Amino acid sequence: MIWFFTVFLSALLASICSQTSIPNNEGANESEVPFEDILESFQEILSLRSTLEKKIRRPNAIDIDDFSSNRNFDLDLETQRLEQEVTIFEHIAAATNMYDLSEEKRNELIEKLNEVPKFREIVRKCKKALPSPQCDSSSLYRTLDGSCNNLKHPRWGSLFSCHERLLPANYKGVSEIVDAANGEPLPHPRTLSLHFSDDIKLPTVNISQMFPFFGQLLAHDVVRTPPSTSGGRTLDCCLLDELQHPQCISLTYSSDDPYYSQFNFTCQNIIRHIPCPTCSFEKRKLINQATAFIDCSFLYGINEWEANRLREFDGTGKLRTQRGNLMPQISPTSRDLNCISGYEKYCFQSGDSRGNQHLMLASLQNLFLREHNRIATEMKVLNPHWDGETIYQETRKLVGAIMQCIVYKEFLPLLLGPTRMSEFDLWLNNSQYDPTVQPEMLSEFNTASYRLHSTLNTVVYENETSSSIIKLRDTYAIQKPIHENSFGSFLKGASKLPGHKYGRHHVEDVTKYLYKRPINDFGRDIQTINIYRGRDHGVQPYIKLLAYCSNNEINVTTFENLNQVMEPENVELLKQNYKDVADIDLIVGLQMEYNNGISVVPPTAACINAIQFKFLKDGDRFFFTHTGLPTSYSKEKIEAIYNASLSKLICDNTKVTEMQMNALLTPSEENPVMPCSSFPEIDLCLWKSEPEHHE
């Protein structure tokens, strides 16, 4: 019953506040509030709760988001510390019913708090937890943690920056998940998943299975939103309601669930994501445990500790490898939930904590590792006077530029379509850095518009001839095939196999078997998780984003209004499952929209995604097409980088001898298979420099 006492103590602050005179909308009682007593009581609560939590950590509880490998404990400890800072502000806001007040009264309340010395100390401590970094404006290279990209706002886009939003947060109070329009709970995500996400396979005409795999690699490069913890250990959210941690989301399955009931599986451990410390009473934002820039942080890491364990320090500027010219092996004692016990010798260290999540993701990360080492080798030959640090930094900068080129030249035109590419000026050409653009990740993007699981096929090809297949469900946490077979075969196979059309239909590999282990009979349901995450992040419902992206030309007030953007069948499904059109979850609505086939995702999702990638291009001082800066590449180098392609990477770093022009599209007359020798190269001679001579 320890959790009962913890929850009771957390409620004590609310009890104290209820006995004081908080200003209300009617302005009934304006007497002074004893904030000193409130804050002192609250700090006692935090201290006691911390002590109690240490006694009840649950080492066997696993959160769906906590499939993390190669844990960076310095990073985890820093994240836990920041989580404590934001907790204070959220509890004060909740206890004082701050968001039930009018804006005027809320501002009055905050002004009174700011007069209290103890509160000012809390604010000072919070701001000190995230100090503004000292920047070297002359540096030609990115920092590992993304800081100092914007010299006036050094923390924009960096590690531990906050997710932003296109529309205001949709929470009850400061951070509670909202109810439906009629005041009842929103429909259960599992019910919605069962009704919408049937296993109907709709192969695309030309998008390859490589598209969603590369899309996931890109996602891992720019965003990671960690779950809350109890002193660094995973919370157990399948306890009785009265014993649950406030950061838990109750996700229970009914005893007659058509799938999980046969396994007596009645609860999935879902933990709310860690809020971001804004040191203010803003509604909850979420923290990003990655850099928001396309910088290949999945390869290089996001702090010095990660980077150093992945590097060779032998003057070559290379990254470490193990047998087979693959990423280094994880420690046998590593707590890696993506690595099956007993198979640690097959699992990889990488710059991202999700590197061993599945076979194809690990294959792509190994591909970029080899590209770094291939380029570093050539840089050393061209510039024997360079030291290892210069080779490493120049190669890291170029590999990041290659990743950006593939994203904006090959991936985004398919995701968004040519109209959105032109509308948001996303085509690759000489560009200018805009220091007024804040390059943060959008919650609408992270939780809805960029969720591409519906485009996955059920299998991956094990070799180039497509004569052998592996079920997608059997690739989770399995890296042994990479050691037994060239991962180039898996990459080429994925580029030949059609993906599926974006929409509400999902294959069972992600709705029944997600993260399934060989010893288990079942896995998780991604659509249930996705719907819950949108609510956890406080994103506005679908109709609000539909209006936003149509410049308010499409304003939906009834289900019938949706017929202008959806098939009648989908409108009817929504009507059967939601009581009010204003309740439709963003991700659900996006997946129901008409898609004209010009882009992978339909119009509203394309709008959100285009805005996100506009931010990531214009707000990145180191984006490779930006000119006129000390960090800029020359015109000749930029044009050389335009030759980069995913197919060329596969050709250069595997045993594959031929590829189609664009690996994200299946082979066709418009996308012919060519010998690897036919692909244009990046002329690395442009990076040759003369040694400096000192008199």
Per the annotation, binding residues for heme b are: 453
- DSSP H helices, 152-204, are 189-196
CA distance 275 to 94: 15
- The count of other CB atoms within 10 Å of the CB of residue 529 is 23
Q: Can you read off the two tokens belonging to residue 273? A: 């994501």
CA distance 586 to 594: 15
Q: Which amino acid would we find at residue 669?
A: E
DSSP state of 408: I
Which residue numbers belong to the known binding site? Answer: 453
DSSP state of 294: -
Q: Can you read off the two tokens belonging to residue 407? A: 């994203």
> Which residue reads 């907790």 in tokens?
87
As a whole number of Å, the CA-based R_g of the chain is: 26
**Number of helices followed by number of strands (H, E) in the chain:** 24, 12
CA distance 166 to 162: 13
Q: Alpha-carbon dihedral of residues 141, 146, 148, 153, nearest 10 degrees?
A: 150
CA distance 192 to 251: 13
Helix/strand/coil (H/E/C) assignment for every residue in 222-236: HCCCCECEECCEECC
Looking at the DSSP bridge assignments, the partners of residue 329 are 348
End-to-end CA distance of the chain: 77
Q: Return the closest-CA partner of residue 169 out of 444, 438, 437.
A: 444
Question: What is the SS3 assignment for 206?
Answer: strand
Is the separation of the CB atoms in 89 and 275 below 8 Å?
Answer: no
CB-based burial of residue 596 (10 Å sphere; 0-12 exposed, 13-18 middle, 19+ buried)? exposed
Is the separation of the CB atoms in 450 and 422 below 8 Å?
Answer: no
Question: What is the SS3 assignment for 450?
Answer: coil
Q: Which amino acid would we find at residue 341?
A: S
Element (H, E) at 11: helix 2-18
Q: Return the closest-CA partner of residue 646 out of 354, 378, 376, 407.
A: 407
CA distance 31 to 22: 8
Helix/strand/coil (H/E/C) assignment for every residue in 103-133: HHHHHHHHHHHHCCHHHHHHHHHHHHHCCCC
Element (H, E) at 366: helix 359-382
